[in-house]
Amino acid sequence: MNKKENDLLKLFSANLRRFRHKKKCTQIKVCIATDIDRSVYQKYESSNSPDIRLTNLYKLSEFFEKSLDDFIRPINDNKK
């Protein structure tokens, strides 16, 4: 993975965690609502999963009511 991909993955993970905290949800609640395996979700939040399924990204987008680009937008730009 190159530096740009690694930076995007870290940004995705940070935003995902921030969205979950803002919604006051546990990881388990997100996993149940989105039907994403907990171990997979934990990898997403910890930047340990370079391959994110498009279907899972869509489920997360729907659950958090965020556009797909919100997940990789720098935090300062993510005031929604």
- Give the pLDDT confidence of 29-80 residue by residue, as tens digits: 999 999 999 999 999 999 888 789 999 999 999 999 999 999 999 877 555 4
pLDDT score recorded for residue 75: 75
CB neighbours of 18 closer than 8 A, spacing ≥ 6? 75, 78
- Give the global pTM: 0.88
Q: Is the pLDDT of residue 12 over 90?
A: yes
The CATH number given to 3-77 is 1.10.260.40
